[in-house]
């Protein structure tokens, strides 16, 4: 007996109906916005009442596309959008028009070394192999902007590997940097959904000097781990002089508002190789924290 042929779909797909709807003759009734298919009606989708649906869409679209791209885990890079690449640091200083601007430019120039560190760390992470199911691991993921984010995506691109960008619509235009893999470049309206996607596949996080956005992302992650909402993972904190000047971590423990062992949630780093070695050592000691066995070791 021959195998039965699966029955055809009973209902037409949404794509078929959408195509059919585009050829409906124009009448006063069909020309009204109310006649549009709901999922093709942009103005309807932008209504305040549809916010829950938009939340779902921003959760689903990157999730589905990352699954289809076989992204098993990511190495997330947080950091300032203002730190210049080393070859542009002198120009930043030269462009200063007064002593205050010049002092700030000099401080940014001093931090330009972290562009190279982020670039080198991204190259190391991008050499990681796939697992037995073909899933790619420690795929570089950044906010997609300039500076530290650009350095991370650039490092992956120079290794011939894919990298992810999670961009956000801002009042001042922020374009994805040119090193992001085009099909893995996402744009968000909701900060909350963007931050969720940063962590859904994260297996390591590198935090470089930065401003409000970097503080927000770092402290949210530390809080999630501290409260058991996210399992521990390697958090590399680059720039001890900077962070110690901005945040008195030890003082928080001394005041009793965090526990002393909370200071162990992150690891101080200055060098890309040191950071990557720490990540590898972490997973040697916590093999169950890896999503699955990898088919080849990272260099």
How many contiguous H segments (helices) and E segments (strands) does the chain have?
A: 12, 7
Residue 36 pLDDT greater than 50, yes or no: yes
**Residues 139, 74 contacting (CB under 8 angstroms):** yes
pTM of the model: 0.90
**What percent of the chain is predicted at pLDDT more than 90?**
82
What's the confidence (pLDDT) of residue 296? 39
Domain ranges of the chain: 62-289
More confident residue, 70 or 296: 70
Residue 163 pLDDT greater than 50, yes or no: yes
Find the mean pLDDT for residues 177-201: 97
Q: How far apart are CA 227 and CA 235, in angstroms?
A: 16
What's the confidence (pLDDT) of residue 238? 98
| pLDDT tens-digit map of 202-241 | 999 999 999 999 999 999 999 999 999 999 999 999 999 9
pLDDT-based confidence at residue 27 (cuts at 50, 70, 90): very high
| pLDDT tens-digit map of 67-83 | 999 999 999 999 999 99
pLDDT-based confidence at residue 288 (cuts at 50, 70, 90): confident
Task: Name which of 6-15, 165-174, 208-217 the model is least confident about.
Answer: 6-15
Residue 3 pLDDT greater than 70, yes or no: no
What's the confidence (pLDDT) of residue 9? 72
The overall average pLDDT reported for the chain is 93
Residue 290 pLDDT greater than 90, yes or no: no
Residue 17 pLDDT greater than 90, yes or no: no
Read off the tokens for 215.
Answer: 């503080």
Residue 130 pLDDT greater than 60, yes or no: yes
What's the confidence (pLDDT) of residue 165? 98
pLDDT-based confidence at residue 151 (cuts at 50, 70, 90): very high
Residue 275 pLDDT greater than 70, yes or no: yes
What's the confidence (pLDDT) of residue 287? 81
Topology of domain 62-289 in CATH is: Rossmann fold (3.40.50)
Find the mean pLDDT for residues 244-268: 97
DSSP 22: T
What is the separation of C-alpha 134 from the centre of its chain, rounded to a whole number of angstroms? 21
């Amino acid at each position: 007996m021959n195998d039965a042929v699966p029955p055809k779909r009973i209902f037409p797909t949404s794509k078929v109906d959408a195509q059919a709807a585009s050829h409906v003759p124009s009448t006063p009734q069909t020309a009204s916005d109310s006649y549009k298919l709901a999922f093709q009606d942009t103005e309807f989708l932008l209504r305040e009442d549809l916010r829950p649906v938009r939340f779902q869409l921003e959760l689903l679209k990157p999730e589905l596309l990352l699954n289809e791209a076989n992204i098993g885990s990511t190495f997330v890079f947080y950091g300032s959008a203002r730190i210049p690449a080393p070859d542009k640091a002198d120009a930043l200083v030269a462009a200063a028009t007064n002593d205050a601007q010049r002092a700030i430019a000099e401080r940014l120039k001093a931090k330009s070394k972290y562009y190279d560190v982020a670039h080198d760390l991204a190259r190391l992470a991008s050499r990681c192999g796939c697992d037995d199911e073909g899933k790619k691991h420690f795929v570089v993921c950044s906010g997609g902007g300039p500076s530290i984010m650009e350095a991370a995506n650039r490092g992956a691109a120079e290794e011939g590997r894919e990298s992810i960008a999670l961009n956000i619509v801002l009042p001042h235009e922020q374009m994805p940097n040119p090193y992001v893999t085009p099909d893995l470049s996402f744009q968000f309206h909701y900060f909350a959904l963007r931050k969720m996607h940063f962590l859904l596949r994260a297996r390591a996080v590198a935090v470089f000097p930065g401003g409000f956005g970097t503080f927000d992302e770092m402290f949210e992650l530390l809080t999630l781990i501290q409260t058991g909402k996210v399992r521990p993972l390697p958090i590399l904190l680059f720039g001890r002089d900077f962070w110690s000047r901005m945040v008195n971590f030890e003082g928080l423990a001394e005041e009793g508002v965090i526990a002393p062992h909370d200071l162990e949630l992150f690891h101080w780093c200055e060098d890309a190789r040191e950071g990557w070695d720490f990540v590898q050592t972490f997973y040697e000691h916590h093999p169950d924290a890896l999503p699955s066995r990898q088919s080849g070791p990272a260099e």
